[in-house]
Structure 1
Amino acid sequence: MAHYYHVCFVVPDLEVTMRDLTAAAGLSWGRVVEAEVEGAVVRVVYSDGPAHAELVQAPSGGSWGDTSRARFHHIGFWTSDLAAGADRLTACGFPEVAPFGRAAEGPWAYFAVDSIGGHVELVDAAMRGTDAVSWIPDVPAAEVIDEHVHSCS
């Protein structure tokens, strides 16, 4: 069984949320990363782990949806084979979410899981430790979903 390595929340104010989670749970934080997504600046930070809390601050109305209030967005897992994982989750009834899917920049894809009110994110484990995901903290203990043996059951 694979273990998740992060849980993501969309938040309206990164610094306020970081402060609150530090006070409430003693979390410490990595560096804030800014990236342009859909023509707008998105800010992302991970807590030190394991497991990590990922916070995303983005403008409302884009792919991140309503960002005026804090909410759960996704739970992230490393996968041995992103394409096979995408096929597996789609076959299990969890549709790939665009534009967060593989059409977007990056070695990851998102799948709607209505029962958790958010998404499952698969991140290609081949990217661990590379520049493509250098801002994502690795969790050496986090297992990888082996897509060649895992099924919907």
Structure 2
Amino acid sequence: MSQNAILDPGDQFHIGIVAADFEATVARLTEVLGYEWGPEIGGPVAVGLPDGRTTELEIRCAYSRTTPRLEVVRSVADSLWQPAGEGGLHHIGYWSDDVAADTAQLAERGYAVEATRAGVGGGLFFAFLRSAEGFRVELVDRVAEPSLARCWAAPEVSGGAA
């Protein structure tokens, strides 16, 4: 890792795509690129906005079991969770040991905070930041790693000897 880098490339864990047609996007990624998927997860999420307001959004996504890991997110009207142009990259997700500190460092380098979610104990659970060039980074508290890893674990095989 570069001495001046804020984030470690080894902490990058997914590439996010926001889809206007979730089912078609997942089907295409499976058909053409051979991706396999974990379950769709999500629900209502309280999201902090740059103007200080908090709003509740229905955020749903699925992570690929296949690597490199993809996350396909259902589009959410009137939010930052909109498709990025012609099927383009929406964000790159990183684990963070201190989301608030990493967010502050990125903000010092010109990244604009677009959305955050409070975590347990008053810290940040996630943050979405956008660079002046439009590049978006998602920081996710590393405490979520074990539970999110279940989303892309191989499915359990039931049954046994017949």
- Same-fold call, TM > 0.5? yes
TM-score, normalised to structure 2, is 0.67
Uncovered stretches (5+) of structure 2, i.e. residues with no partner: 2-7, 46-54, 154-162
1:112 to 124, 127, 130: 130
Contact 2:75 2:83 (8 Å CA) reproduced: no
Residue matched to 1:19: 27
- In the TM superposition, residue 135 of structure 1 has moved relative to its aligned partner by 6.2
Uncovered stretches (5+) of structure 1, i.e. residues with no partner: 139-153
- In the TM superposition, residue 65 of structure 1 has moved relative to its aligned partner by 4.1
Residue matched to 2:61: 44
**Alpha-carbon displacement from aligned partner over 1:62-96 (angstroms, at most 9, x marks no partner):** 34246897442210111121121011111111121
- In the TM superposition, residue 102 of structure 1 has moved relative to its aligned partner by 4.0
TM-score, normalised to structure 1, is 0.71
- In the TM superposition, residue 109 of structure 1 has moved relative to its aligned partner by 0.6
Count of residue pairs the alignment pairs up? 133
Residue matched to 2:159: none
Residue matched to 1:148: none
Contact 1:60 1:67 (8 Å CA) reproduced: no
Residue matched to 1:84: 101
User: Distance between the aligned counterparts of 2:99 and 2:18, measured in 1?
Assistant: 24
**Alpha-carbon displacement from aligned partner over 1:115-134 (angstroms, at most 9, x marks no partner):** 2x34111111133215xx56
What secondary structure does 2:89 align onto? strand
Report the aligned-residue RMSD: 2.9
- In the TM superposition, residue 46 of structure 1 has moved relative to its aligned partner by 0.7
Indicate whether 1:72 and 2:89 are aligned: yes
User: Distance between the aligned counterparts of 1:28 and 1:8, measured in 2?
Assistant: 15
In terms of Rg, which structure is larger?
2
Contact 1:33 1:135 (8 Å CA) reproduced: no
Give the counterpart letter for 1:109 in structure 2. A
The 3 A distance-change label for structure 1 pair 112 and 135 is: farther
Contact 2:38 2:151 (8 Å CA) reproduced: no
What secondary structure does 2:93 align onto? strand
The 3 A distance-change label for structure 1 pair 125 and 103 is: closer
**Alpha-carbon displacement from aligned partner over 1:27-84 (angstroms, at most 9, x marks no partner):** 0000011412455543211111433111111332234246897442210111121121
Give the counterpart letter for 1:21 in structure 2. L
Contact 1:11 1:71 (8 Å CA) reproduced: no
User: Distance between the aligned counterparts of 2:26 and 2:129, measured in 1?
Assistant: 26
Indicate whether 1:122 and 2:139 are aligned: yes
Identity of aligned residues (%): 28
User: Distance between the aligned counterparts of 1:85 and 1:9, measured in 2?
Assistant: 22
Structure number having the greater strand percentage: 2
